[in-house]
Every structure is written in structure tokens, then in C-alpha cells.
Chains A and B, each alone.
Chain A
């Protein structure tokens, strides 16, 4: 059976996955940076190394993500490109057979996608401009507080007092989060406010489209327990987190080979 690679070249991170039929052989993530083609190559190489397969051993590469078209440049020699929402739907449907809706919370863009039993996209809702960069914001906030994203999530779960930051945009939310810290508010409560802010933003977007069960969550932020704590109650639906949340696009790319 042939080995295929999926590349999801996003705003912040580039994700590579290697699959043999239904089996996930290896994966790797690198920051995208400016040189998006180099990032893709690196991610691919890392993935290949972990599996011990050579570039020649690949039957084909499919790319998705915001920079997917750039991958057509040499030396990658890709088979085809596929739109984010198409890949996300395919990937989510593969990772969770009974799922019909995926909420993808990425670095710069969030979207919710409804699809049929074969993972074909039926409807999509994407965030508006003012909600851009939520993922990036989450990372920079962790940095501002001086902890890792993982730690921020754990910290938030220890919050005891409810405080809020503006639900308008990442820029003013950050400014207000720091504002709160300057008032001497406990950092756990600030971290919680940040997580809730993002969850509320995503939920607001989701209510515009009918979300068909079962609902799964993908994207880097799906790993934040603090954030996921809020999502179900906000959209009044059960959600489950995909096993490879940040790789759903890359996997879907392979599925669309």
C-alpha cells in the first residue's frame, strides 16, 4: 500500500503527516515563519525521519492550509492542493466516523464545518475579521504572563474569581488582561478570562450555523482544557476533541489524495 503525505501550512504552524491507507505512520509540526516552503520541507523531513522513510518512498503529497498554493513551487513536487475546509471535513470525518461538524480553532482563523457521512463539506462558517488571530493571541498571552500554553491552561482551571476581558478583539483583550494584572488580579483568574474570551468568540461564530451531531473540535487550541471547559455550555452541545486535533487538516489532505 502506498505512503502519502499531507501538509497543512498554516499561518502559525506547518503540520506534516504520513499515512499508509488508514494508518498514521508519523507526523511533525514546525513554525511556519516567513519561508513557508522551507518550513514545509522541514516538517516533511522530520516526519519522514521519525518513520524512516525516504522522500522517494512517498507516492504523493497533498497540501492544504492558507499557504497551500505556495507549495506548488519546487522542490516539493506536490500532487495537489485542497481548500482548508474541505481537508478539515475529510480529516475530522476520518478521525471520528460519526462526526458531522468540526469546529477548528487555528492560530489565525476559526471555522465550523458541517459535512455528510463521507466528509463532504455541506456548510461552513468562518470568523469575521475582528476575531482574527485568537490562537496567536493565546500564545502571546502565555508569553506575556511568562508561562507555557499548557501551564496557562492548567492555571486557568485553578481560577476562583470571575473576571472578564473585552469580547471584541485579541488586541484589546490582551491590553485588558494586562490591565487586570496591573490591578493585582490573580493570574489564574486572568488566564481563565482569556480562555473564556476565546471560547465565547468561537461559540458566537458557531451559533450562526446549525451544528449537526456529533460535533468534534480540532486545531491547536483544542488542546486547551481551560478553553474546552467552556465550549460545550456556550454552544449548548456536547463536543469531543479529536485525537490529533492540530493534524486534522493534514490528515484530510491525505484523504483528498
Chain B
């Protein structure tokens, strides 16, 4: 049979990330257990080992004011939107809702589900360190993963063996390796796939059964390897910031009045989700998972190198700047997010020193496209040095 071209495969990923509920329900139809999760610090491996597919809860992108009477105004719109998904009963079909102690805002979204959206009896909160760099953190993580495992064993009424976990670790690592290869394309001046497409495929990985996702992604990568590269871009823009699952913003970057390309996204809906691996073939599986998650690009809410005031995330960002060579940086974060601006204030001087211009986009439930377009085009004009 004829091999499918990349566009067809990308389109399939796209339609799944557009209708995550539909996809999830189709799996449930086949008797598959589903768990929603609210923060990427939830160890998906353990859910997989229990035979449960983790489905990340993302925004609805519908303007919703109702959450204002459940959660305070000043929690970020992403957390409000995720809370809304519960209150609007868009996910009543889930068997379970899980989160790990995350940033306060997403924690509140989880609380709303449990407290007001009927998930009281089918929820689990994994105690998770807020400072992942300390020595004791790993042991603590392993211990609370053990609790989570026991909870799941009760839930699925079968014991989870080391074999189950090892298999799950391999599945998830496979996804991570493939995604990394996919993102590597963007390092090239003439990548056969665009940043927004890569972002969409990455979103899909947080919503799909990885056993089905991996071969699809593998096929995509193979087809891309034989693709001719797209025309080299004028200006390369890197995005760094918080959760953003609105493809509209990434498309905007590529549909400016100038030729500009999105070449990297440092966020928990993009590279922070997968840019690490869990050690395989270890005797202590949960310890291995803990070690893996500690190696992640830290979430700004958990980034603290003990003994110093240093932020580990900055090392990664500087590394990505070297490898992906952006001409400009876009700080993209949720209005009211508390950790992000604390990083921006320290990161901006670093960029200025590197002579990389930047601009800040403040995300809210609805996106002011015109203003964002103006800021982005102005950034490109500054980079190109447009002058009379």
C-alpha cells in the first residue's frame, strides 16, 4: 500500500487534538479505562502499568465566566478553563481524575473538579515535591508513587508488577525519544515540518494512547526524513513560558506580515512535557521514574537549586538558544501566573546580554489577536532593523 505523506498524518494528529473527548470516548468504547490528569508531573508510567490511559485536561477555549464563582478571579485563565471543563461536565466519562501537587492555580482547578464537579469519589492527588533538586526529593517521590500505585491496584483490582511498569516506562520513553527527534527537525534552516505542526503533534501525545501514538509518530518522522525541506525562514522565533494549548497563537507567528518561523517552545504543553527520559532496566522501578522526572526541564513553580539562588531551567533555555539559534524570544505566559514573571525578570537580562530581542505576550481566556500580531510584527521589525 502507498505510504501516507506527512500532511495526512499531521492532519490526523490535528483532528485528535481538536476533539480530545471524542478520541477518549472512542477508546472507552473499547472498554479502555481513562484517567484525566491536570499537571505533567503525574507519572504516566504508573497509569499505563495499571492499564489506564492518561488524558491531559486542557482548555476549552470557550469564553466562560461561570468559573469566577468557584475560583478566584486572580487564578490564571488556563486553570479557570480546566476547572470549567469539569463544571461543564465535558469529562464526566472519565474513570478517574489525577494530579500531582502542582502550582497552586492548577491545584485549585483540580479542587473544583473534586469539590463541585462530582469527582470526589474518583480522584487522587499525588504528593509531589515543590523543590525537585534536593537529595530527599527522590526518595519522597518514590514513596508517594508507591502510594499512587497501591491506590491504582485497588482501583483496577489487580496488582501492578515490575514488568508492567518497565513496559510502561519503555512506551513513554519511546514517545519522548520520537518527540525529541521531531523537534530536532526545527533546528534546520529548512525544516520539512513547521513549529505549529510540531506543537500540535506534541499536544496529541498528551491526549492519545501512546501505544497508538508512537507508531503514528514514527511513520510521520520517516515520511518527513524523505521530504524536501520547506523554504528557509526569515526570522526564527523561540517561545518560552507557561502552558499554552492554543494553536492559534503559534499559527499567528507563522502568518505574520513577514516570513517568521516558530522554532522552539519551552512550556509544559510542549518540550517541558517530554524533554527527559526515565532510566530503563532498573531494579527499583519507582525510584527510576522519580530520577527521570527530576531530570526534566523544571517547571518554574518547582525550580530551585538548593544552596544557591540558581534556576536550573535557565541552563536548559541557554542550551536551547545555542542549538536552535533564535533571532528573537517571545515570553508567552498566563496572566496571573505567579512563577513565570519571576523567571522573566531574571531571564530578560540574560537575553539582552546575548543581544536577543524579546517581547511579552500575556495569555487570557480569549486572545487579542490584533495586539499579539502587532507585538510579534514589531519584534520582527526590530530584529530586521526596519527604518525609513
Are A and B physically bound partners? Answer: yes
Contact A164 B366 (CB under 8 A): yes
A179 near B368: Cβ-Cβ < 8 Å: yes
Whether a CB of chain B sits under 8 angstroms from the CB of A53 is no
Which residue of chain B has the shortest Cβ distance to A125 in the bound complex? B69
What is the distance, in angstroms, from A175's C-beta to the closest C-beta of chain B?
7
Q: In the complex the two chains form, what is the Cα distance from A128 to B72 in whole Å?
A: 10
Question: Assuming the A-B contacts A128-B73, A130-B73, A168-B73, are A203 and B65 also in contact, with contact meaning beta carbons closer than 8 angstroms in the complex?
Answer: yes
The distance from the CB of A211 to the nearest CB of chain B, in whole angstroms, is 12
A164-B65 contact given A130-B73, A179-B368, CB 8 Å threshold:
no
A183 within 8 A of B: yes
Q: How far is the CB of A61 from chain B (nearest CB, A)?
A: 37
Is B64 engaged at the interface, CB distance under 8 Å to the other chain?
Answer: yes
Q: Does A223 contact B (CB under 8 A)?
A: no
Verify B369–A204 contact, CB threshold 8 A.
no
Chain A residues whose C-beta falls within 8 Å of the C-beta of B368 in the assembled complex: 166, 175-176, 179
A204-B69 contact given A165-B366, A176-B366, CB 8 Å threshold? yes
A154 at the interface (CB under 8 A from B): no
CA distance A175 to B66 in the complex (A): 22
**A residues less than 8 Å from B63 (CB atoms):** 164-167, 196-197, 200
> Which residues 177-207 of A have a CB within 8 angstroms of B?
179-180, 182-183, 196-197, 200-201, 203-205, 207
The yes or no answer to A208 lying at the interface (CB within 8 A) is yes
A175, A182, A204: which contacts B65 (Cβ < 8 A)?
A204
Instruction: Report whether over half of chain B's contact residues are helix, strand or loop; otherwise say mixed.
Output: loop
Residue count of chain B within 8 Å CB distance of chain A: 18
A174 to B87, CA, bound (A): 27
Q: Is the CB of A172 within 8 A of B69?
A: no
Q: A167 with B69: in contact, given A179-B371, A182-B370, A200-B63 (CB under 8 Å)? A: no
Q: Point out the residues of chain B lying under 8 angstroms from A165, CB to CB.
A: 63, 366
Shortest distance in angstroms between B68's beta carbon and chain A's nearest beta carbon? 4
Whether B364 is near chain A, meaning CB under 8 Å from some CB there, is yes
Does B1 count as interface, using CB distance less than 8 angstroms?
no
Q: How far is the CA of A168 from the CA of B72 in the complex (A)?
A: 11
**Pair A167/B65 contact, Cβ less than 8 Å:** yes
- Say yes or no: is B365 at the interface (Cβ < 8 Å to chain A): yes
Q: How far is the CA of A131 from the CA of B73 in the complex (A)?
A: 10
Q: Is the CB of A200 within 8 A of B69?
A: no
**In the bound complex, what is the Cα–Cα distance between A182 and B380 (angstroms)?**
21
Q: A205-234: contact bitstring with B at CB < 8 Å (1 yes, 0 no)?
A: 101100000000000000000000000001
Residues on the A chain within 8 Å of B370, using CB: 179-180, 182-183
Contacts of B64 in A (CB 8 A): 167, 200
Task: Tell me the minimal C-beta distance from B335 to chain A in angstroms.
Answer: 8
The reply to whether A205 and B69 form a contact with Cβ atoms under 8 Å apart is yes
* Cβ distance A125 to chain B, nearest Cβ, rounded Å: 9
Output the nearest chain B residue to A234 by Cβ-Cβ distance: B66
B75 to chain A, nearest CB (A): 11
Q: Are A179 and B69 in contact (CB under 8 A)?
A: no
Q: Say yes or no: A168-B69 contact (C-beta < 8 A), given A179-B370, A183-B369, A197-B63.
A: no
Most chain A CB atoms below 10 A, which of B65, B68, B369: B65
Give a binary string over A49-89; 1 marks a CB under 8 Å from any B CB, 0 the rest. Answer: 00000000000000000000000000000000000000000
Q: Which residues of B contact A (CB under 8 A)?
A: 62-69, 73, 77, 335, 364-366, 368-371
Q: Can you list 29 A-B contacts (CB < 8 A)?
A: A128-B73, A130-B73, A164-B365, A164-B366, A165-B63, A165-B366, A166-B365, A167-B64, A167-B65, A167-B365, A168-B73, A168-B365, A176-B368, A179-B371, A180-B370, A183-B369, A197-B65, A200-B63, A200-B64, A200-B65, A200-B66, A201-B68, A203-B65, A203-B66, A204-B65, A204-B66, A204-B68, A204-B69, A208-B69
- What are the 4 closest A-B residue pairs judged by CB atoms, nearest first? A200-B65, A164-B63, A204-B65, A167-B65
